[in-house]
């Protein structure tokens, strides 16, 4: 689906740049095909270990490489226009899409560091399905303006998701003791991992970052710096309590209880565990 996204956006962008009112259906097909090839071309060379096609530094050269054969189609554009627009098509359909999800070495070969935004899901169906649907209408009715509107629409969608991502990040970073936050997109949610001094939380927020998050797993870092799965948390009699199970235990596990006192977590001794668990259970029922 990732290649499909690159090809579809490339076809939309090329139609927006090259399709004229007088263009025939055959010329529309040529234009869409050329844009699709430009869109997927960096990944074709990547299979041979080449990252040059994913570099911003190589965009001017890529414009020349694609501009020369496009000139042979005789669409009535100057070489300088084909050179610049083919580079822009490559930027829109491949480099920016890769930057928005799985990362890209934008400064290769001078640097192999990958830059990544984690904004859209890899091969996001919203993008490729929208582009393919529009391409069908464009080809059927020869409406090149629809391609330009689609570029604006997808750009607005990406900008909206960026704003949602920023808002979701502020919701997740609600603790001054946060050490690290990782967030990645899925089709309908934001998946996140949040690490604080004593807890590691894995959960999801909806697209808009609204409402309560859904916690999938929560881990407690005990005083010995060991991760233990959290079963229950509460505040009782002025103290914070966390109930965990032994690390790596699958069945018949012993419960471990920790109490927070003066900013430190202390393990409850075995002879008091049952009493504490019973009290916490009665409070939960209330």
Q: In this structure, what are the phi and psi dihedrals at residue 178, rounded to the nearest 5 degrees?
A: -65, 130
In 3D space, the residue among 12, 6, 85 whose CA is nearest the CA of residue 46 turns out to be 6
Give residue-wise pLDDT tens across range 98-148.
888 877 888 887 888 888 888 887 778 888 899 999 999 998 888 888 999
Domain ranges of the chain: 2-166, 183-285
CB within 8 Å of 258: residues ≥ 6 apart: 220, 222, 241, 242, 244, 265, 266, 267, 268
Per-residue pLDDT tens for 211-262? Answer: 888 888 898 888 888 888 888 887 777 778 888 877 666 666 777 888 887 7
pLDDT tens track for 66-76: 988 888 877 78
Q: What is the DSSP letter of 239?
A: E
How many Å apart are CA 179 and CA 184, to the nearest integer? 17
DSSP label of 251: S
Report how far residue 126's alpha carbon sits from residue 108's, in angstroms, rounded to the nearest whole number: 30
Kindly write down the DSSP assignment for every residue of 61-80, as one continuous string. Answer: HHHHHHHHHHHTT--S--HH
Report in angstroms the alpha-carbon separations of 117 from 29, 96, 100, 239: 33, 10, 5, 40
């Amino acid at each position: 689906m990732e290649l499909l996204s690159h090809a579809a956006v490339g076809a939309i962008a090329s139609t927006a740049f090259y399709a004229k009112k007088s263009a025939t259906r055959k010329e529309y097909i040529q234009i869409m095909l050329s844009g699709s090839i430009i869109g997927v071309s960096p990944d074709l060379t990547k299979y041979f270990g080449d990252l040059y096609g994913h570099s911003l530094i190589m965009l001017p050269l890529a414009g020349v490489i694609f501009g020369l054969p496009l000139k042979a189609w005789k669409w009535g554009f100057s070489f300088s226009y084909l050179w610049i627009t083919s580079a822009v098509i490559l930027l829109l359909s491949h480099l920016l899409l890769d930057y928005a999800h799985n990362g890209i070495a934008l400064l290769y070969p001078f640097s192999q560091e990958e830059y990544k935004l984690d904004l859209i899901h890899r091969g996001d169906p919203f993008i490729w399905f929208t582009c393919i649907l529009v391409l069908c209408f464009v080809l059927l009715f020869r409406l090149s303006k629809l391609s330009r509107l689609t570029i604006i629409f997808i750009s607005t969608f990406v900008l909206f998701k960026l704003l949602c991502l920023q808002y979701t990040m502020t919701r997740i970073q609600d603790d001054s003791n946060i050490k690290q936050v990782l967030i990645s997109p899925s089709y309908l949610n934001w998946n996140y991992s949040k690490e604080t001094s004593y807890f590691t939380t894995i959960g999801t927020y909806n697209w808009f970052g609204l409402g309560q998050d859904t916690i999938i797993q929560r881990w407690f870092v005990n005083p010995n710096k060991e991760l233990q799965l959290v079963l229950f948390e509460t505040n009782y009699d002025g103290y914070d309590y966390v109930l965990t199970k032994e690390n790596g235990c699958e069945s018949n596990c012993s419960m471990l209880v920790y109490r927070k006192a003066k900013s430190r977590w202390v393990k409850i001794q075995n002879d008091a565990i049952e009493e504490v668990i019973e009290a916490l259970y009665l409070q939960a029922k209330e």
